[in-house]
Structure formats: C-alpha cells, structure tokens
C-alpha cells in the first residue's frame, strides 16, 4: 500500500472512531444548554439555538444537586483515603514481609476476585442493618475500606522494591512500622497515585450498592440520584443531560489531569507481572 | 524468618474483606437454602428452611431462563465485538502511520471513566424513536425509523452497543501496552522475508498477544455477565423482558419483591456460571496454545 | 492539590449538613410524586400553629417508592409519617409496620369517619383495624379532546364499550397515521385493572388465596384491551418512549387518555392557553353503561417505628382538615376523600372534577393482599405479551393463574397456621 494512502486510511479510521466515541458526550453537553423541549424537535438539533443555564440552575437550586455532588465527593474521598491505607499496608506485607501461610492466603484472596460482588449483597445488607449502618455514609464506606484488587496492585509493585534497602534499615534497628513509613511509602508513590485515582473513579461511579444502601434522598450519590431522576423525569430530556454533565465532567477532568497514573495502574494490574 | 508485624499490617484489610465480603458470601449460601422474604423480615418465625427448593423453583421459572438467555446473548455478541474493536483500534494506534496518538488514545478511552448511569441516560435519548439523532441519521441514508428501545428485537442490541462503546477503550489500552512489548526485530525479519502487514498480524502479533487475549477475554466476559445498570436505567428490563439480565432479575427478586432466599440462589448460580465459563476459557486457551 | 481538595470536601460537607434549629422536634414525612413536590407549600401554616415542630419532607418518585419503603423497613429507617398508596396498605399491615389509628381517630376533633366516602375509608381498614387515614382519592377515567371528537362527528363522550370502540375507529381513521384514538402506555396497568374490575368475577378467588384470571370476566376485559392495539387505535408504546405526554396530547397525537385527578392540574399547567377549552374528563364506559373504576388514592400512615408519634399524628390531622384538603386540591388537582370538602364551591364549580365525583360512586377496590403489587406486575406483563402477539388470551391467562398461585403459596401456608391477615 502506498504510504500516503495508508496514512490517510489509518488516521481517517482513527478520526472516525474518535468522532463516534466523543459524539455522545459532546451531544450531552450541547443539549444540556438547550431550553426545555427544544431537543424533541424534528430534525433533532445538534447545537442549541438559544443556549440557557436554566437546567443547571434548576438542578442546583431546586433539586439539591450540590448536596449529591458533596455526597459523591465525600464518599469517594473517604473510601480512597481509608482503602489506600489498608491496601498499602496489606500489599506491602504480602510482598515483603514473610509470615506463615503468606502465599496460600494470597491465593485465597485472588480466588475471591472471581466471586461477583452481588452474591454478598443481600447478607451484607442484613449485616449492616444489625450494625445500624443502613442508609448512612458508613454503609457505603465501611464495606469498601479494603479491596483485593488494591492489595494485588500494591503487592505487584512492592515486589520490585530492592530487598537490600529494607534489610539495611532492619540492621540499623528500625521497627517494621518505621521502615514502612519512611522507606517504603515514598518508594510506592507511583502505585499509590495510580491506586488512588483508580479507587476514586470506581467509588464515584459505583451505582448498585449505593442504590441499595442509601434510601434517604439527602444521602444519595450522583449516579443514584441521576438514575432516580431519570426514571421520574422521563420527559425532561434537557434537564437529564444537565444532570449527566454534572455527573460525568468531574471524573473526566480528573482523568484528563491524571491520565498517566490511571493508565499505569491499569497496566500494572493487567499486563506486567 | 517470620515477621510478627506482618499480621498487624494485614489485619485491617483482611478484617474488612473477611467480615464484609467473605462472611456475607458464606451467609449467601445459607440464605439461599431458606425462603427468607418480607414475611420473615417482619417475624422470624415465618422463616422456613427449604433446602434446594429455591434452586429448583428458579430453574422452573421461565423468567429466569429468559434472563439467562438475554445475558448469554449479551455476552456472546458483546464480548467478541468489544475485544475485536479494542484490538483493531490498538493495532491502528500502534501503527507507525498513526498521528496525534495521545489525542486519539485519550478520546477513545474517555467513555471508560464516565458514569454508566449518565451514559445510559444519554443513550436513551440518542436512540429515541422519533426525536433521536441515530434514527435521524439512518433516515438520511434511507433506513426507516427503528424502535430501538421499544422493540423487543432491538432493545438488547442497543444495550450491547452501549456496553461496547463504553468499554472498548479499556482493553484497547491493555492491548496497546502488550503490542509495545513485542520486539520490533520480529517484524523486521518478517518484512525482509516479504510478508504483508496482514500476515504479520496473523503470524506474529496474535500469537504474541495470546496471554493478553486470554486475560482480557476472561475479564471482559466475567464483567459482561454482570450486566445490570444499563437495563435498570434505560429499559427497566423491558420491552417484554427482553433486557432482563440475570443480575437485574436477582435485584428485582431480592430488593423489589424481598425474596432474599430466591435471590441468593440466583446470585450463586450466576457465580457458578461465571466460574465455569472462566475455567472453560482457560482450558480452551491451553489447548490452542499447545 | 490534595490538601486543597480535602478542604473543599470538608467545606461542602459542612455546608450541606445545615445545623438543625435548636428546640424543634423534627417530623419526617415521605411523600411521592407530585404530592411530594407540592405538599411543602402547605407546611408553613402547620409549623406556625405548632412552633415546637418542624416537618422534613422527602419527595420520592413513584417508580422507586415501593422498593424504597421496603428497603427502609428492612433497614429500620422508615420516617414518621408517610403517604402510602392504599393498595399497599395490606402489605405494610402484614409486616406490622403501621401504627393502628382507631383510638386516635375516635378521640380526634378533626377527623370523623362519617365524613369520608365509605368505600375509600374501607380500603384503610385491614383485619378490622384502621391503619391509615385517606388523604386523597384517585380513580382512573377518560381525559379526551373534545374538538377531535367533534371533528369525527361525536358530541358527547362514550358511555358504553361499543360506543367507545366506534369513536376510536372513526378518530384513528380520520387521523391517517398521524393520530391515534387512545394512548395506553404498556407499562401502566391501571386501565386494564379498571376494565377488569368492571366485570362480575373477583380477580383473586377465596379471599386472595388463588388466582382468578382465567375467569370469563377477566378474559373479556383483556380481549377488549388488547383489541385496541390490534385495531391500530393505540400505539404499542411504553411510558419511557413517549417523549412528553402533555405535549403530545396538546398536539393532538391521541384523543383519549386514561388517567387520574393529578392530571387535571398538570394539563391546566402545561397545555397552552388556546388548548384549555378543548379537553375534558368523562367517566369510564362499561360494557353496557357507565362502568366502574379503581378505588385508588393515598392514605397518610404513621409507622410503628416513628420516633415522633404525637407530632406525626398532629401532621396527619392537619392534612385532613377540609380547608387544607381544598388547598391541596387547588395545588395538585387531587380529590379530597371528605364529603364536606366536596360541597365547597371551588370543587363543585370545577367542570373537570365533575366526572370524578360521578365516577367515585362506582369505584371498586383491588384485592387486599400484600402480594398484589407483584401480581399486578405479572398481569401487566401478560397484557404486553398478548399485545405484542407472543401469546393468546386463553393460554396466557392460564399461565398467569399458575404464576399467581405460586406467588400466593406462602400466604396460603400462613393462613393455614392462622397467621395471615
């Protein structure tokens, strides 16, 4: 194939795919600025003729969007902070601290990865009810305070740390905790950044469990509130798009800013090792 | 040499996973052997131990088989489509001829990080029978309006399209990294021998991607079996229950009708199915590799 | 960046958790749909009369209300007062979630049972105990476009099934593909339930222990319903696909719509001024004369788990005052369950409400079993299957009865042990 034709072909296909991929998101943005009812017209408009912020105002002032935004943010941050701590401790231990049954225990954990979370949902609900955590932030945060995937990721990375460094510190008389805090954690920064981004995005986008556990309107996260709104306001196209924009834009921005870490984490868990 | 500190380090994480995941999974087994329902929730005396009755009853429920059929349809069509698209775009992006690589990679990956609920809402309007952009575009090339979400024939394909659109970027990035790990020297040798780009792909790229393909296949398949959010937001399982997935069925059984016993049985059967399919995929790959 | 992010999160959290004004008891009240949006306007007066109380309203969409309530019951997070559709009362009574209200009503100066429509009051009595106070009544009847009927040659709305069918045929024929006779969303079971209630046979046999859908009466109703689709008078659509019911009605895409009193307010609000004279309501036609319809509506209930029982009851009493009910009617179009409220000229003079007063004389309740919600879901699915040609009425109703019998199995078991309601 002649080079120029090939270049055009390859980039043409890529551009076409990128257009198809981005179109729904751009359309969502565009419709969110259209006045109510404008999108239900023939032919369907692609660009607002009279852009307006009325839906955003409606969502933030009347529907309590700010509250849901705060909920999503708070829960995602809390889950990220706590699970990062717990997973890093465990991941490092599985990688570098010898103890009896370490490998077997780790294999059991890996096996648990194939169990779909939904098997646990109903008993977990009953358990949290006994603990008084249903319909509270705790109900969402507590079960997410550690994850096998997080432990796995940290372990993968921690295994590459040089043993000599740790041995030297031990010989100097430092306790395991000091070694962890002063030597290991700084070295783990890349994987911690990746895991943090990963966990935050997953927590932000989580839908099924918050749907079940949070019944109070005030406590709901953005995805759940959006799902509820969308089943109720089937008619209000433009309003729903505004809601979608608010749900999607924060994570997109976060992703664009921290792409590197996210992709690194993804690959660490999938390809390397 | 054993580090006693190790136990302190793993205790918090293992505690959480043990209490809030493994314990409920075990309890799920137990729950599936009872007829725990709303009556039992009100008064514990109304609980009955029914052994494998839930499983039998579920297997005799036509809706369960319909949900299973729908889910299998989704997996069998969606997984190859998704992986195929991911592989194709990874190959394109990896090609020396590609320009603006970072932009394309970001653009093609963007759907992965979006919230499924938001996207399902967007999809519902894009595929609206009368006012949707998709039907308008089809009309321009002469294809009559399709009732995407209202026709039992087209509802599941619409959901498959959504899932593929949303996820293909994820696997694309994995394939890209794997492609970058293939030594360039192999391709050079093939080019010197006069092999066309297609033969290079078939004889060098695909075999070298083997392990990655397997892993991606397993992850995607097990993920697709857990179809839930799309039917919940877009179709509520309709039209005519053509988009009820196994998980959606479990959700309704468990959290709409409060038959925890039956719902637990469904969840465990789903787990069994995913496990079996995963095991089969691994056996198959071992045979192909040999 | 991280510390700043945390700071923002902390600020958002603090600002979102507004501190409660001290010294006021909070009554938690859940209301659904439009009522939930609107009831807030009635509350400042209540809070003025009871300075020590504050009402916290949570609006819940109907589509999720049943799940939410059961989840809240299971999770122990029910509110103090709640609006409950009266077909759900038996279910929550079976769960023993509702506080009995007989004593309170007897002692109340505001609520007197004689003032209520007896059929409606009756739906709130489960196993001899009063479990809720009716808040508003609901039934389903025809909303129609007078001008479209007139253009097709009909001056008055239909009173019998054959008349109705003739009108639908004429209107659809005239519409030439752009207009349907009637909109019957496939996800709304109420029209079919109303048609079924017009028949003689009960929907569940032996006090709700066995399914009765194979009866000739139900089959007749089902055939009438599905014929509307077969003849092309109704489009095969579910609720989510109709982009905007009010707009489409205003544009004349269909001439008839079976709906409830809240749409009086909605149509008045959403249809353009020039259309307001073109629409009217009429009672449901029956097989050979004016027919029955569903005895729906919502009640106000106080949950057993309520923390503020006294205050909750005060709120129930307030919302049951005839004057407050009339204000509520003005806001939503919902109809009061008290005869004294109906005598007020505001209601007596409303032309759109007249058909409802007429229909309320002919309402029949649905079977009072906790599983009713689930049974309705199965019935609706059958209707859709028949409409889409997947099964026929005979085989379908027999299959439905088998499913319903299975659903009612536990109820029969409990009844045998003397524990069913």
Distance set, CA A78 to CA A74, A203, B169, C53 (Å): 6, 10, 28, 34
Instruction: Write the DSSP assignment of A144-183 as a string of letters.
Output: GS--HHHHHHHHHHHTTS-HHHHHHHHHTT--HHHIIIII
pLDDT by residue for chain B (290 residues), tens only, comes to 567 788 889 999 999 999 999 999 999 999 999 988 878 877 888 888 998 999 999 998 889 999 999 999 999 999 999 999 999 999 988 887 778 888 888 899 999 989 888 888 888 888 888 788 898 889 889 888 888 888 889 999 999 999 999 999 999 988 988 888 888 888 888 888 888 878 888 888 888 888 888 888 988 998 899 899 889 888 888 788 899 999 999 989 988 888 889 999 999 999 999 989 988 988 888 887 66
Q: Are the Cβ atoms of C238 and B238 closer than 8 angstroms?
A: yes
In CATH, what number is assigned to the domain containing residue B180?
Answer: 1.10.3720.10
Instruction: Show residues of chain B in contact with A102, CB under 8 Å.
Output: 6
Asked if residue B40 lies in contact with residue B47, where contact means CB atoms within 8 angstroms, the answer is yes
Question: Which residues numbered 112-141 in B keep a CB inside 8 Å of some CB on A?
Answer: 113-126, 130-133, 136
Mean pLDDT of all residues belonging to chain C? 87
**Helix (H) or strand (E) run with residue C216 in it:** helix C216-230
Residues in chain C within 8 Å Cβ distance of A135: 72, 75, 77
**Which of B252, B256, B260, B261 is most worth mutating to test chain C (most C CB atoms within 10 A of its CB)?**
B256
CB contact under 8 A, C63 and A218: no
Q: Within a domain: residue A38? A: no
Asked whether the beta carbons of residue A98 and residue B2 sit closer than 8 angstroms, the reply is yes
Residue A60 pLDDT grade (very low, low, confident, very high; cuts 50, 70, 90): confident
Q: Which of residues 232-251 of C touch A (CB under 8 A)?
A: 239-240, 242-247
Q: Quick check: B92 contacting A, CB < 8 Å?
A: yes
Nearest chain B alpha carbon to A91: B10
Q: Backbone phi, then psi, for C184, in 5-degree steps?
A: -125, 90
Whether A161 contacts chain B with CB within 8 A:
no
Å from B254 to nearest chain A CA?
A: 7
Check if B182 contacts A (Cβ < 8 Å).
no
In chain A, % of residues over pLDDT 90: 25
Domain C141-294+368-416, architecture per CATH: 3-Layer(aba) Sandwich (3.40)
Q: Does the CB of B39 have a partner CB in chain C at under 8 Å?
A: yes
Q: Map residue B276 onto helix, strand or coil.
A: helix
Question: What is the residue-wise DSSP string for B164-231?
Answer: HHHHHHHHHHHHHHHHHTS-HHHHHHHHHTT--HHHHIIIIIHHHTHHHHHHHHHHHHHHHHT--HHI
- Of C203, C222, C211, nearest to C394 (Cα)? C222
Inter-chain touch B107–A18, beta carbons under 8 Å = yes
Query: Does residue A8 have a pLDDT over 90?
Result: no
| The residue count for chain A | 273
Q: Identify the three-state secondary structure at position B113.
A: helix
Neighboring chain B residues of A94 at a CB cutoff of 8 Å: 10
B27 contacts: CB under 8 Å, gap ≥ 6: A123, A126, A127
CB C229 within 8 A of CB C387: yes
Q: pLDDT class for C387, splitting at 50, 70, 90?
A: very high
In a domain, A22, yes or no: no
| Residue C298, C-beta contacts closer than 8 angstroms, at least 6 positions apart | C32, C35, C83, C84, C85, C86, C134, C135, C136, C138
The CA distance from C79 to C98, in Å, is 11
User: Hey, is C22 helix, strand or coil?
Assistant: coil
pLDDT of residue B290: 65
Contact status of A185 with chain B (Cβ, < 8 Å): no
pLDDT tens digit sequence for C55-67: 999 888 887 788 8
**∠ at Cα C144 (C140, C147), nearest 5°?**
170
Q: Is residue A219 part of a domain?
A: yes
**Secondary structure of C321-386 in HEC code, one letter for each residue:** CHHHHHHHHHHHCCECCEHHHHHCHHHHCCHHHHHHHHHHHHEECCCCCCCHHHHHHHHHHHHHHH
How wide is the angle at C-alpha C26 spanned by C-alphas C22 and C28, nearest 5°? 155
Per-residue pLDDT tens over the stretch C389-420:
889 999 999 999 999 999 998 889 888 887 65
Domain count, chain A: 1
The single residue listed with the structure tokens 């056996």 is B283
CB neighbours (10 Å) of residue A3? 9
CA distances from A139 to A124, A126, A128, B257, C175 (A): 10, 11, 7, 22, 55
pTM: 0.83
- By residue range, what is the domain housing residue B190? 51-289
What single DSSP character describes residue C391? S
For the cut 90, the answer to whether the pLDDT of residue C165 exceeds it is yes
Any residues with CB less than 8 A from the CB of A167 and at least 6 apart, and which?
A: none
**Searching chain B, which residue's CA lies closest to the CA of residue C417?**
B46
Given a contact cutoff of 8 angstroms between Cβ atoms, the answer to whether B142 and B232 are in contact is: no
Peptide bond into C236 cis (omega under 30): no
Angle value at C-alpha C237, between A227 and B138, nearest 5 degrees: 85
Burial of C3-12, coded b for 16+ CB within 10 Å and e otherwise, reads eeeeeebeeb
- pLDDT band for position C7 (50/70/90)? low
Count Cα neighbours of A17 within 13 Å in the Cβ-side half-sphere.
28
CATH superfamily, with its number, for domain C22-139+295-349: Periplasmic binding protein-like II (3.40.190.10)
pLDDT of residue A271: 56
**Ranges A37-51, B72-86, C3-17, most confident:** B72-86
pLDDT at residue A264 is higher than 80 = no
Helical axes B210-225 vs A259-270, angle rounded to 10°: 100
Measured between CA atoms, how close is C212 to chain A, in angstroms? 32
CA-nearest residue to B25 within chain A is: A120
Answer yes or no: are the C-beta atoms of B282 and B214 closer than 8 Å.
Answer: yes
Q: What span, in angstroms and rounded, lies between the C-alpha atoms of A217 and A225? A: 8
Between B42, B128, B238, which is nearest C96 by CB? B42
pLDDT given for residue C9 in this prediction = 52
CATH number of the domain that A151 lies in?
1.10.3720.10
Name the residue range of residue A149's domain: 67-234+241-270
Give one DSSP letter per residue of C107-129, joined into a string: H-SS--GGGB-HHHHHTTEETTE
Q: How far apart are CA A33 and CA A122, in angstroms?
A: 41
Query: What's the pLDDT at A1?
Result: 53
Question: Tell me, what's the pLDDT at C22?
Answer: 52
Residues C232-236 have a mean pLDDT of 89
Dist CA C421 CA C414 (whole Å): 9
Count the domains in chain B: 1
Q: C-alpha distances in angstroms, B19 versus A213, B15, B16, B24, B30? A: 17, 6, 5, 7, 16
C60 contacts A40? CB cut-off 8 A: no
Chain region(s) in chain C for CATH 3.40.190.10: 22-139+295-349, 141-294+368-416
Alpha carbon of C212 to those of B86, C203, C260, C403, C409: distances in Å?
53, 5, 26, 11, 15
Considering the domain boundaries, does residue A252 fall inside one? yes
CB A266 within 8 A of CB B174: yes
| pLDDT value, residue C100 | 92
Q: Tell if the CB–CB gap between C241 and B241 is shorter than 8 Å.
A: no
A47 and chain B in contact, CB less than 8 A:
no
Helix axes B62-94, B101-113, angle to 10 degrees: 160
User: Which positions 31-50 of C are in contact with A (Cβ < 8 Å)?
Assistant: 33
C-alpha–C-alpha distance, residues C42 and C331, integer Å: 10
Residue A55 lies in a domain: no
Structure-model confidence comparison of residues C85 and C8, the more confident one: C85
Checking if the pLDDT of A272 tops 80, the result is no
Best of A127, A215, A229 to disrupt the C interface (most C CBs within 10 Å) is: A215
Q: Report yes or no on A113 lying in a domain.
A: yes
Residue A24, CB-side half-sphere exposure with 13 Å CA sphere: 26
What b/e sequence results for C43-69 when a residue is b if at least 16 CB atoms lie within 10 Å of its CB, and e otherwise? Answer: beebeeebeebbbebbbbbebbbbbbb
Name the nearest CA neighbour of C33 among A233, A55, A226, B257.
Answer: A233
Q: How far is CA C400 from CA B57, B68, C377, in A?
A: 16, 21, 11
Spatial distance between the Cα atoms of B111 and A21, rounded to a whole number of angstroms: 7
Q: How many Cβ atoms from other residues are within 10 Å of residue A89's Cβ?
A: 24
- Report the percent of chain A where pLDDT is more than 70: 96
Cβ-Cβ contacts under 8 Å, A22 against chain B: 107, 110
Instruction: Name the residue among C97, C381, C410 with its Cβ closest to that of B241.
Output: C381
- Do C94 and B39 count as a contact with CB atoms less than 8 A apart? yes
Q: How many residues does chain C have?
A: 421
What contacts C264, CB < 8 A, 6 or more positions away? Answer: C281, C333, C350, C352, C353
pLDDT at residue C19 in the model: 46
Confidence of residue C421 (pLDDT cuts 50, 70, 90): very low
Mutate to test the interface with B, among C78, C90, C95 (most CBs of B within 10 A): C95
In this complex, do A271 and B21 lie within 8 Å of one another by their Cβ atoms? no
Gap between the Cα atoms of C383 and C192, Å rounded: 8
Indicate if the pLDDT at residue C36 is higher than 70. yes
Residue B86: closest C-alpha in chain A:
A17
Residues of C in contact with A132 (CB under 8 A): 76
The answer to whether the CB of C284 falls within 8 A of the CB of C159 is no
B161 part of a folded domain: yes
Q: Which residue among A24, A86, A119 sits closest to B126, beta carbon to beta carbon?
A: A24
Tell me if A40 and C9 make a contact (CB, 8 A cut-off).
Answer: no
For residue C89, give the nearest of C294, C260, C293, C299 by alpha carbon: C299
Q: Which B residues in the span 66-125 are in contact with C, Cβ-Cβ below 8 Å?
A: 124
């Amino acid at each position: 194939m002649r080079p120029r034709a090939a270049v055009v072909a390859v980039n043409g296909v890529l551009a076409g795919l990128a257009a198809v991929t981005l179109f729904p998101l751009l359309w969502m943005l565009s419709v969110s600025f259209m006045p109510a009812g404008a999108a239900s017209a023939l032919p369907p408009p692609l660009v607002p003729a009279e852009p307006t912020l009325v839906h955003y105002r409606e969502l933030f002032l009347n529907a309590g969007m700010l509250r849901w935004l705060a909920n999503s943010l708070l829960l995602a941050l809390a889950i990220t902070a706590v699970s990062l701590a717990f997973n890093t401790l465990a991941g490092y231990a599985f990688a570098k601290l010898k103890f009896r049954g370490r490998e077997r225990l780790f294999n059991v954990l890996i096996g648990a990865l194939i169990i779909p979370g939904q098997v646990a949902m109903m008993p977990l609900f009953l358990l949290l009810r006994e603990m008084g955590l249903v319909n509270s932030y705790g109900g969402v945060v507590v079960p997410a305070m550690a994850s096998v995937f997080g432990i796995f990721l940290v372990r993968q990375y921690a295994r590459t740390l040089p043993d000599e460094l740790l041995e030297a510190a031990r010989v100097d008389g430092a306790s395991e905790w000091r070694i962890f805090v002063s030597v290991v954690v700084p070295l783990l920064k890349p994987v911690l950044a990746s895991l943090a981004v990963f966990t935050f995005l997953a927590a932000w986008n989580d839908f099924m469990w918050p749907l079940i556990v949070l019944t109070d309107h005030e406590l709901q996260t953005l995805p759940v509130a959006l799902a509820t709104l969308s089943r109720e306001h089937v008619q209000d196209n433009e309003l729903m798009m505004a809601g979608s924009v608010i749900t999607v834009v924060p994570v997109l921005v976060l992703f664009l800013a921290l792409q590197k870490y996210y992709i690194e984490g993804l690959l660490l868990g999938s390809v390397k090792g | 040499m054993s580090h006693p500190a190790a136990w302190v380090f793993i205790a918090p994480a293992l505690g959480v996973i043990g209490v809030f995941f493994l314990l409920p999974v075990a309890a799920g087994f137990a729950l599936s052997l009872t007829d725990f329902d709303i009556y039992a929730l009100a008064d514990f005396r109304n609980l009955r131990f029914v052994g494998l009755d839930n499983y039998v009853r579920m297997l005799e429920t036509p809706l369960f088989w319909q949900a299973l059929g729908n889910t299998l349809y989704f997996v069998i069509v969606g997984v190859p489509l998704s992986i195929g698209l991911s592989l194709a775009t990874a190959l394109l992006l990896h090609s020396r001829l590609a320009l603006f690589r970072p932009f394309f990679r970001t653009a093609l990956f963007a759907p992965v990080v979006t919230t499924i609920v938001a996207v399902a809402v967007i999809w519902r309007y894009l595929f609206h029978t009368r006012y949707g952009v998709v039907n308008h575009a089809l009309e321009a090339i002469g294809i009559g309006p399709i009732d995407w979400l209202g026709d039992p024939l087209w509802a599941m394909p619409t959901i498959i399209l959504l899932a593929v659109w949303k996820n293909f970027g994820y696997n694309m990035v994995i394939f890209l990294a794997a492609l970058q790990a293939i030594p360039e020297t192999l391709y050079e040798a093939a080019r010197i021998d006069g092999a066309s780009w297609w033969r290079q792909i078939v004889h060098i790229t695909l075999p070298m991607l083997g392990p990655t393909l397997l892993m991606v296949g397993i992850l995607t398949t097990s993920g697709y079996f857990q179809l839930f959010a799309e039917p919940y937001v877009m179709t509520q399982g309709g039209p005519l229950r053509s988009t009820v997935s196994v998980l959606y069925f479990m959700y309704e059984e468990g959290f709409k009708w409060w038959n925890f016993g039956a719902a637990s049985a469904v969840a465990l059967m789903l787990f069994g199915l995913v496990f079996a399919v995963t095991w089969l995929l691994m056996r198959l790959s071992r045979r192909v590799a040999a | 960046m991280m510390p700043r992010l945390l700071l923002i999160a902390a600020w958002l959290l603090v600002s979102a958790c507004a501190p409660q004004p001290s010294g006021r008891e909070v009554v938690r009240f859940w209301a659904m749909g439009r009522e939930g949006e609107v009831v807030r306007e009635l509350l400042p007066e209540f809070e003025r009369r009871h300075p020590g109380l504050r009402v916290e309203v949570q609006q819940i969409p109907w589509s999720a209300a049943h799940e939410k309530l059961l989840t809240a019951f299971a999770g122990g997070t029910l509110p103090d007062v709640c609006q409950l559709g009266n077909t759900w009362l038996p279910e929550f009574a079976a769960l023993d979630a509702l506080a009995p209200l007989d004593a309170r009503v007897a002692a109340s100066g505001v609520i007197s049972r004689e003032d209520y429509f007896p059929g409606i009051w009756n739906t709130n009595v489960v196993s001899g105990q009063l479990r809720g106070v009716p808040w508003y009544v609901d039934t389903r009847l025809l909303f129609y476009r007078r001008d479209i009927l007139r253009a097709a040659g009909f001056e008055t709305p239909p009173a019998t099934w054959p008349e109705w069918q003739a009108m639908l045929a004429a209107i659809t024929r005239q519409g030439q593909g752009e207009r349907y006779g009637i909109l019957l969303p496939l996800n709304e079971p109420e029209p079919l339930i109303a048609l079924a209630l017009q028949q003689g046979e009960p929907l569940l046999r032996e006090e709700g222990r066995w399914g009765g859908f194979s009866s000739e009466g139900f089959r007749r109703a089902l055939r009438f319903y599905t014929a509307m689709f077969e003849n092309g008078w109704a489009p095969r659509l579910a609720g989510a696909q109709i982009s905007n019911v009010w707009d489409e009605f205003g544009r004349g895409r269909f001439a008839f719509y079976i709906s409830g009193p809240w749409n009086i307010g909605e149509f008045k609000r959403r249809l353009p001024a020039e259309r307001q004279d073109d629409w009217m309501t009429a009672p449901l036609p029956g097989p050979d004369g004016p027919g029955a319809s569903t005895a729906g509506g919502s009640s106000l209930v106080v949950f057993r788990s309520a923390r503020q029982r006294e205050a909750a009851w005060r709120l129930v009493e307030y919302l049951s005052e005839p004057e407050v009910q009339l204000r509520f009617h003005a806001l939503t179009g919902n109809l009061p369950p008290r005869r004294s409220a109906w005598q007020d000229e505001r209601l007596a003079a409303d032309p759109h409400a007249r058909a409802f007063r007429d229909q309320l004389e002919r309402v029949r309740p649905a079977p009072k079993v906790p599983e009713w919600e689930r049974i309705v879901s199965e019935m609706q699915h059958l209707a859709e299957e028949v409409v889409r040609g997947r099964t026929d009425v005979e085989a379908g109703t027999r299959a439905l009865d088998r499913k319903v019998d299975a659903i009612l199995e536990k109820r029969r078991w409990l009844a045998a042990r003397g524990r069913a309601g």
